[in-house]
A and B are shown apart, each in its own frame.
Chain A
Amino acid sequence: MKYDVVVIGGRIGGSISSLFASRNDVDVLMIEKRQEIGTPVQCAEGTTFSTFETLEMKPSNKYICTEIMGAQVHAPDGSTFKVEEGMTDGNILNNKTISEGYVLDRRVFDKYLAIESAKAGTDVMVKTTVKDLIRKEGKVCGVVAKHLGETIEIKADVVIAADGIESNLAYKSGLNSLKNPDDICSCAQYELVGLDIDPHLLEFYFGRLIAPGGYSWIFPKGDGIANVGVGVRNSTETAYYYLKKFVSKFDATPVELNIGGVPLSGPMDKTYNDGFLVVGDAAGQVDPITGGGIHITASCARIAGEVAAEAIKKENVSSMFLRRYDEKWRDEFEDNLKISFKLRKSFDKLSDNDMNALAEFFGNNNLEKISKLSTLKFLSKHPNLLKLLKELL
């Protein structure tokens, strides 16, 4: 078997890479290890409007559960502040990536993208696990896959690894993909039914007793249903333990349990090799503060598919050429991801009291126009937060 491009993974990174490669008239195969695309869900399912601009798709009610118009942050002491739609992109707190967008049904959305890719000409193999890369003189030139016990060799000029947090392919290609456990957010989530909540508001809860090293969330899906989850880092108890604790306060029924690890390390230093590209969670293309990655992965995957197709047409799949992918996606996201990583490091050091103080400060101020006087007053009481506030504002 031989293809121009083989894409490993059939979720958003894989489907979008293969879609944009196929649209550029190259032969593409996408391989998914599970027998169904889109399950199990490993995501809180929130994304930005920009995802659909990247995809040049009109968002559809088939996979959009609800539109988000704001976010509410709960401090450890229970005090809250709101970030609402219409605020400008002036600082990280009124960043549109958390206060505007959609909550998706990933099960339907992922499948829809795979179908779009198949319509554009991508061949798809499901229930097929990639065991190894085929390499010749150091260059990646295909994969060894297994389907129902049968081993299959598939040659390819470019292999795109969109195989998620559990990726071993980047490592096998010679890239450093090892993650530090402190940088992995360990997550557990219920889809709860019977909640009395605002269907257009995301809610985030912080605190050592609620979610050490992370946060808890409520992402509404409409009709009293929501993804209610917890992400923790460096915790002695599991994410599941904190999830049970968090949901005990709701009189609601779980109809689904989702779990997953989210890489908050920032992206890999290098995301290409000879005949090889890596996208999505496998490449660490996730915002280190929010843990959100759909909009980033959508864009990176599109670039990967387009660059792979261009490389095929130019008959140059060397790392020198494929480096364009790395440069293009970094142009778009690297600065923000670096700032976000730095902020995450600062947040890691905050005590519950620091978070309470910050929430009070933001709750008492108009986020679009925080005055110098109120900032100075705040800092005279909390001088330890100077550095963080500077980074935030």
Chain B
Amino acid sequence: MKYLIESCGCCGACVAVCSNKLLELTENEIIIREGCNNCGRCEKVCPLGAMISEDA
């Protein structure tokens, strides 16, 4: 997934749905660990559109 940090509101909705548990919300950004398979679950729940599928 492509993470647009400037569009991120740091709500953590994406963290809850990541099927491989690769996401972590720190104080002011999302950290994505290696292994993302671009499944798009985080994109579906992001209120501000900060997560974009790579092939989109």
Contact = CB atoms under 8 A, between A and B. Distances in A.
Given A34-B27, A129-B26, A259-B9, A186 B46 contact: yes
Given A184-B17, A260-B11, A260-B13, A168 B24 contact: yes
Interface stretch (A174-182, A246-254, A326-334): A174-182
Interface size for chain B: under 10, 10 to 19, 20 to 34, or 35 or more residues?
Answer: 20 to 34
A261 interface: yes
A186 B13 contact: yes
B11 A129 contact: no
Given A164-B12, A166-B12, A263-B16, 12 more contacts: A129-B26, A165-B11, A166-B13, A178-B17, A184-B16, A184-B17, A184-B45, A186-B46, A186-B47, A187-B47, A239-B48, A240-B49
Interface in B15-52: 15-17, 19, 21, 24-27, 41, 44-49
A127 B26 CA distance: 10
A168 B20 CA distance: 11
Contact of B27 (A129, A239, A241, A259): A129
B21 to A, nearest CB: 6
29 contacts: A35-B27, A129-B26, A164-B12, A165-B13, A165-B16, A166-B11, A166-B15, A168-B24, A171-B21, A177-B16, A178-B16, A179-B16, A179-B17, A180-B17, A181-B41, A184-B16, A186-B13, A186-B45, A188-B47, A188-B48, A238-B48, A239-B48, A241-B49, A257-B9, A260-B47, A261-B11, A261-B12, A261-B13, A261-B14
A234 B47 CA distance: 12
A167 B41 CA distance: 16
A177 B19 CA distance: 10
B10 interface: yes
Interface of A: 33-35, 40, 42, 127, 129, 164-168, 171, 177-181, 184, 186-188, 234, 238-241, 257, 259-261, 263
Contacts of B16: 165-167, 177-179, 184, 261, 263
A168 B11 CA distance: 14
Nearest to B43: A181
A329 B31 CA distance: 33
B43 to A, nearest CB: 9
Nearest to B9: A259
